[in-house]
């Protein structure tokens, strides 16, 4: 039995079609670019994923784990797309690509500026084919500047941004975020910018060149840390599961398991001590404000820990839920995947792909009560090539066969 055998199928009903009629060409690989086009596809855009013949997107080889021969990393960010194999490094392939660009609304790439120009897929080259085109680039350092040609992965971007320096235990080593945060953030930024550009194009008729840097997306994520430093000169340091601004905002150890507690304002502070059956503690003048509590943080944390460790986590979570105290478990991934409320909301599901079922994490955005997004399972490499070329270019069988024999598609 697989871990996801009990996942429900995709919800019934019409999927979101807010971007219905929008055509997107995805020339990206790995995670950041495919995540951009996943978001657009989930919102209803038609996305054609253009991959090199023979091996496809780099992430198809990222494994184990694999499911039915496909990388589960690939399967996580490529649903609702069609796969077209096309070698646009060859003149015949670039000609086909440009013919498709003439019908496209959006092209997404994640190569450096010089590589884009070399391949003929940069904004200026494709704008000459389609003046209304929205061209979105995701790269490590942006399309301009002295670092623009450097290679980059999520790990590198996290290091540049400061997030690794602030993640981990106080005396421990820097830690990477436990998911490819820079990839996902830059991918989200690119999707957001594409949506804004589509709105503007509807008004002006003009296309746009979008330049998203993984470093800048990840660094903007650090805004609540950077601005206080710039304004005060106070350098933030690693604090483990504790926040340095809110006096009590951290992990506590119950009798059987850890839990998180955040006491972010005076009202929550009072309700918390009432839930602990010590309401008088909240009224002590030395604890009157967050600033006061910060000065006495060590004392307060020790007092809370001594109480929390006397009972099991679920006892405290029930008490805090009743008292409206921000608190929660520290879930393992298997516990997250088994979360019944997320399942009831359709957030986790298994998509059919022939005889195989593909586990998926949903969009999680509800529009008019609808969060249905599934239209197509992540594609096998090149499975839609002929259909895409016939649909987009009205290509006849003879031309397609010629391209196939030449190794272009």
Q: Which residues are catalytic?
A: 183
Cβ(47)–Cβ(191) below 8 Å: no
What are the phi and psi torsion angles at 25 (to 5°)? -105, 120
- Sign of the torsion angle spanned by Cα atoms 107, 72, 85, 141: positive
- Using DSSP bridges, classify how beta strands 81-85 and 106-109 pair: parallel, antiparallel or unpaired: unpaired
Type and span of the H or E element at 260 = strand 258-263
Distance of CA 379 to the CA centre of its chain: 20
The C-alpha R_g of the chain, in whole angstroms, comes to 25
Contacts 24+ apart (CB under 8 A), 128-132: 129/98, 129/101, 129/102, 130/101, 130/102, 130/104, 130/207, 131/206, 131/207, 132/105, 132/201, 132/205, 132/206, 132/207
Q: Among candidates 195, 224, 162, which has minimal Cα distance to 37?
A: 195
Long-range contacts of 53-56 (CB under 8 A, 24+ apart): 53/85, 53/86, 53/87, 53/382, 53/407, 53/408, 53/409, 54/85, 55/381, 56/83, 56/85, 56/381, 56/382
Write the burial class of residue 204 (CB in 10 Å: 0-12 exposed, 13-18 middle, 19+ buried): exposed
Taking the CB of residue 120, how many other CB atoms lie within 10 A of it? 16
Please list, residue by residue across 32-67, b when 16 or more beta carbons sit within 10 angstroms of its beta carbon and e when fewer do: bbbbbbbbbbbbbbbbbbbbbbeebbbbbeeeeeeb
Half-sphere exposure of 75 (CA within 13 A, CB side): 23
């Amino acid at each position: 039995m697989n871990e996801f055998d009990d996942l429900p199928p995709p919800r019934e009903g019409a999927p979101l079609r807010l971007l219905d009629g929008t055509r997107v060409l995805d020339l990206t690989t790995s995670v950041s670019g495919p995540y951009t086009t996943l978001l657009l596809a989930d919102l209803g855009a038609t996305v054609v994923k253009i991959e090199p013949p023979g091996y496809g997107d780099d992430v198809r080889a990222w494994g184990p784990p694999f499911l039915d021969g496909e990388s589960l990393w690939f399967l996580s960010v490529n649903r609702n797309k069609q796969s077209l194999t096309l070698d646009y490094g060859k003149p015949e392939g670039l000609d086909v690509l440009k013919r498709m660009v003439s019908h496209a609304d959006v092209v997404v790439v994640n190569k450096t500026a010089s590589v884009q120009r070399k391949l003929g897929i940069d904004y200026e080259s494709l704008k000459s084919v389609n003046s209304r085109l929205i061209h979105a680039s995701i790269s490590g350092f942006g399309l301009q500047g002295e670092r623009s040609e450097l290679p980059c992965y999520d790990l590198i971007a996290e290091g540049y941004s400061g997030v690794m320096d602030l993640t981990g235990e106080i005396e421990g080593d820097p830690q990477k975020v436990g998911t490819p945060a820079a990839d996902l953030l830059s991918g989200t930024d690119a999707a957001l910018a594409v949506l804004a550009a589509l709105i503007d194009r509807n008004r002006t008729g003009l296309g746009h060149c979008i330049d998203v840097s993984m470093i800048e997306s990840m660094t903007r994520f650090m805004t609540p840390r950077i601005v206080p430093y710039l304004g005060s000169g106070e350098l933030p340091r690693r604090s483990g599961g504790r926040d340095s601004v809110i006096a009590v905002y951290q992990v506590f150890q119950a009798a059987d398991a850890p839990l998180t507690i955040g006491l972010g304002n005076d009202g929550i502070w009072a309700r918390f001590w009432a839930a602990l059956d010590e309401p008088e503690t909240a009224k002590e003048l030395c604890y009157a404000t967050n600033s006061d509590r910060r000065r006495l943080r060590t004392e307060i944390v020790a007092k809370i820990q001594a109480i929390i460790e006397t009972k099991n986590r679920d006892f405290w979570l029930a008490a805090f839920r009743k008292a409206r105290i921000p608190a929660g478990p520290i879930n393992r991934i298997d516990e997250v995947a088994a979360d019944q409320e997320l399942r009831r909301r359709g957030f986790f599901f298994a998509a059919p792909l022939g005889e195989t079922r593909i586990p998926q994490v949903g969009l999680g955005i509800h529009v008019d009560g609808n969060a249905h997004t599934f239209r197509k399972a992540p594609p096998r490499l090149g499975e839609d090539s002929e259909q895409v070329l016939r649909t987009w270019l009205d290509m006849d069988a003879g031309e397609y066969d010629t391209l196939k024999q030449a190794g272009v598609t």
